[in-house]
Amino acid sequence: MTLPGSSMNQPTFPELYERWLVNPLFRPWAEITLEEVGLSPGDRVLDIACGTGIVARIARERLGDGGYVVGVDISSDMLAVARAVAPGIDWREGNASALPLNDREQFDVVACQQGLQFFSDKPAAAAQMRRALATGGRLAVATWRSDDEIPFFRDLRRIAERHLGAIADLRHSFGDAAPLEALLQDAGFHDVRSRAITRTIHFQEGAPLLRLNTMALVGMSSVGKEMDDQERKRVVEEIVGESSPVLQPYTDGSGLAFELSTNLATAKG
């Protein structure tokens, strides 16, 4: 498979995300999410903040041609990879606070995996999820638990903060399940429930994860946002070098393994 933008051996961030993170990190949780809501023949599925589309792709695999799957993301670069990997899915560029839906278009299943914590207007996004979900339909929303509960990522953040000062890691910014449940209830969903799930995640190689995580931390820091490309690259290299020992306790002959926890909230329309 050739992904877009790979000329001269310079992959884009979405390509690196797809190559190194999707299968080991995001696919297991996507499978858990879809098992939680259950898929039935003929279901219409909406994947919000789809990234390169792993939830949508698994839904399509399970439903076959009898289902209809739509993936929405704000990033055209992420969607370019999604279209290259799975051209048969309806990929749409748009904001979660104003979903690009057709007139009266609704879905039997709406999923948002690890996207809600990044939305600037969460109530508006939740209202849009409710608008998109058919009466009696099923919603699933996953948000990572706080990285204070995840030693692997907590320790990597603390090393990065030596160079960057305090980092507000948006990936873990919606770690408490109670506000998540309240948000969905306020949006008009019924039977709102949530549970924390912990799984051991396996990577064949730790180095790509370490580099991509460091890039994310630098990008989210207020100091990193002020750097030019050259300075940002230098700081990433320094943090990667100092962070390598964190991987050692989690590494054996089969690769890297660590525990990761998420909230998984479900509701009905």
Question: Does residue 3 surpass a pLDDT of 70?
Answer: no
Q: Is residue 164 part of a domain?
A: no
For 113, the 3-state DSSP assignment is strand
Position 162 in a domain: no
Q: Give residue 214's pLDDT.
A: 96
The pTM for the full model equals 0.93
Domain that holds residue 97: 13-148+169-203+260-268
The yes-or-no verdict on residue 194 having pLDDT over 90 is yes
pLDDT band at 10 (very low <50, low <70, confident <90, very high): confident
- The answer on pLDDT for 8 being more than 60 is no
Residue 209, domain member (yes or no): no
Average pLDDT of the chain, as a whole number: 94
Percent of the chain surpassing pLDDT 90? 93
9 falls in which pLDDT band (50, 70, 90)? Answer: low
- At residue 46, the pLDDT reads 98
Residue 42 located in a structural domain: yes
- Return d(Cα 239, Cα 190) in angstroms, integer: 45
Q: What is the CATH number of the domain that holds 128?
A: 3.40.50.150
Residue 185 within any structural domain of the chain = yes
Q: Are 91 and 82 in contact (CB under 8 A)?
A: yes
Supply the pLDDT for residue 44: 98
The CA distance from 191 to 36, in Å, is 14
- Residue, of 4 and 36, whose pLDDT is higher: 36
pLDDT at 1 over 60: no
pLDDT at residue 5 tops 50:
no
Q: In the chain, how many domains are there?
A: 1
